């Protein structure tokens, strides 16, 4: 795997007036934003605000858009598919089936972006696969069937597959959906740790604002397709800012000085 990282001064993902207009409706208002390399950015906002639409643009799931999107100063449409996949991994909200596959077999799929599906997996590939499995603390389950794991463990297995595929960026659409609170915390901690230890840029859609404030470095908030906030947790977690984003009266409390404030609906 290519472990060369980009300098923090070089923009990785950059949007310039990127928007989506479908059937006479502006789904996503033009967005201009540069995502900070090596940081975890949370895309937040109410249902239908445009979060997944924005993520789909970054992952090239939706190529019908206005404006420009760049990866490493190069239009994403100009990247060959396999080369793009070596830099960026996308994990949708609805995970593909993995019936009958072990954790190791699932994670190994991530290496296909580097040599195709027909080439034999090398010892170097397997070393990278094992390292990715360790990075999400699933080495004990390497030979287990994915379907036999808990929800949080399955999500970590898919994250390991993304890690072994892409050397720079993870795009995650609601990676904690359908998980209980304990497993949400577990998965988000793994994502945060992967960003730090592997210098990964992570951009993910989240709904739980308190979990997001704890594990994300930066935020982009959307409302009805428009960008209404950009900033860090300190700027986000105020009653005034949250109320403006979600259009419901909200408050914040500070039960632990070592953690971000906790929001609540009044």
pLDDT of residue 178: 86
Given phi > 0 = left and psi -120 to 50 = alpha, else beta, which region is 72? left
Contact present, 39 and 203 (Cβ < 8 Å): no
Q: Could you give the CA distance from residue 221 to residue 228 in angstroms, rounded to a whole number?
A: 6
Let me know if residue 128 belongs to a domain.
no
Let me know if residue 2 belongs to a domain.
no
pTM flag (> 0.85)? yes
In angstroms and rounded to an integer, the radius of gyration of the C-alpha atoms of the chain is 19
Given phi > 0 = left and psi -120 to 50 = alpha, else beta, which region is 247? left
pLDDT of residue 8: 47
Find the domain containing 75 and state its range: 13-94+167-265
pLDDT of residue 145: 97
Query: What string of H, E and C letters represents the secondary structure of 139-158?
Result: HHHCCCEHHHCCHHHHHHHH
Count of other CB atoms within 10 angstroms of residue 94: 8
The DSSP bridge pattern shows strands 88-91 and 169-173 to be parallel
Let me know if residue 198 belongs to a domain.
yes
Let me know if residue 249 belongs to a domain.
yes
pLDDT of residue 223: 95
Q: How many domains is the chain partitioned into structurally?
A: 1
Let me know if residue 112 belongs to a domain.
no
What is the full per-residue pLDDT of the chain (266 aa) written as tens digits?
A: 344 344 445 568 999 999 999 888 899 999 999 999 999 999 999 999 999 999 999 999 998 999 999 999 999 999 999 999 999 999 999 888 899 999 999 999 999 999 876 677 889 999 999 999 999 999 999 999 999 999 999 999 999 999 999 989 999 999 999 899 999 999 999 999 999 999 999 999 999 999 999 999 999 999 999 999 999 999 999 999 999 999 999 999 998 888 899 999 98
Let me know if residue 31 belongs to a domain.
yes
Given phi > 0 = left and psi -120 to 50 = alpha, else beta, which region is 30? beta
- Which residue bears the tokens 């991994």? 89
Reported residue count of the chain is: 266
Contact present, 1 and 167 (Cβ < 8 Å): yes
Contact present, 232 and 214 (Cβ < 8 Å): no
pLDDT of residue 5: 44
Q: Could you give the CA distance from residue 245 to residue 13 in angstroms, rounded to a whole number?
A: 24
Let me know if residue 146 belongs to a domain.
no
Let me know if residue 199 belongs to a domain.
yes
pLDDT of residue 7: 45
Q: Could you give the CA distance from residue 219 to residue 9 in angstroms, rounded to a whole number?
A: 19
Q: What is the CATH number of the domain that holds 203?
A: 3.40.50.300
């Amino acid at each position: 795997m290519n472990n060369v990282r980009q300098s923090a001064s070089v923009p990785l993902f950059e949007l310039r007036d990127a928007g989506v207009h479908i059937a006479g409706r502006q789904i996503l208002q033009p967005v201009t934003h540069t995502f900070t390399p090596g940081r975890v950015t949370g895309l937040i906002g109410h249902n239908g605000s445009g979060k997944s639409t924005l993520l789909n643009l970054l992952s090239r799931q939706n190529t019908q858009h206005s404006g420009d999107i760049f990866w490493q100063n190069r239009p994403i449409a100009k990247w060959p598919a396999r080369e793009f996949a070596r830099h960026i991994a996308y994990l949708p909200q609805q995970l593909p089936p993995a019936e009958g596959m072990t954790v190791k077999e699932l994670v190994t799929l991530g290496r296909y972006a580097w040599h195709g599906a027909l080439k034999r997996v090398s010892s170097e590939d397997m070393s990278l696969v094992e390292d990715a499995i360790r990075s999400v603390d699933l080495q004990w389950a390497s030979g287990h069937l994915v379907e036999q794991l808990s929800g949080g463990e399955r999500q970590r297995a898919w994250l390991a597959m993304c890690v072994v595929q892409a050397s720079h960026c993870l795009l995650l659409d609601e990676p904690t959906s359908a998980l209980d609170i304990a497993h949400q915390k577990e998965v988000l901690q793994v994502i945060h740790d992967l960003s730090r230890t592997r210098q990964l840029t992570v951009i993910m859609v989240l709904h739980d604002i308190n979990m997001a404030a704890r594990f994300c470095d930066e935020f982009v908030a959307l409302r009805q397709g428009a960008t209404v906030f950009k900033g860090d947790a300190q700027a986000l977690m105020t009653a005034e800012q949250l109320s403006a984003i979600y259009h419901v009266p909200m408050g914040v409390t500070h039960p632990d000085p070592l953690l971000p404030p906790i929001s609540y609906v009044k």
